[in-house]
Amino acid sequence: MIEQNHLNEMWKELQDFVKRVEKESSAQKESAKPYIDQIKSILMRELCPEDK
């Protein structure tokens, strides 16, 4: 299990990254989306392990 503080930090970084990507062209947004979704699902699984 990853440390909670570390997860919160990663989650915040992901949110910031998503905000930056939102400002980019739609082509860049589309290419980043699968990575963002994958990272989100990993973080959600770690942040909410009881939700399985």
**For position 52, what pLDDT does the model report?**
46
What average pLDDT does range 17-33 have in this prediction? 83
Determine the Cα–Cα distance for residues 43 and 52; give it in Å rounded to an integer.
13
**For position 1, what pLDDT does the model report?**
58
Contact 11, 39 (CB under 8 A): no
Report percent pLDDT > 90 for the chain. Answer: 0
What is the overall mean pLDDT for the chain? 82
* Predicted TM-score (pTM) above 0.85: no
pLDDT at residue 32 greater than cutoff 70 = yes
- Residue ranges covered by each domain of the chain: 4-51
Helix (H) or strand (E) holding 40: helix 26-47
Assign 3-state DSSP to the chain and report helix, strand, coil percentages, each to 5.
85, 0, 15
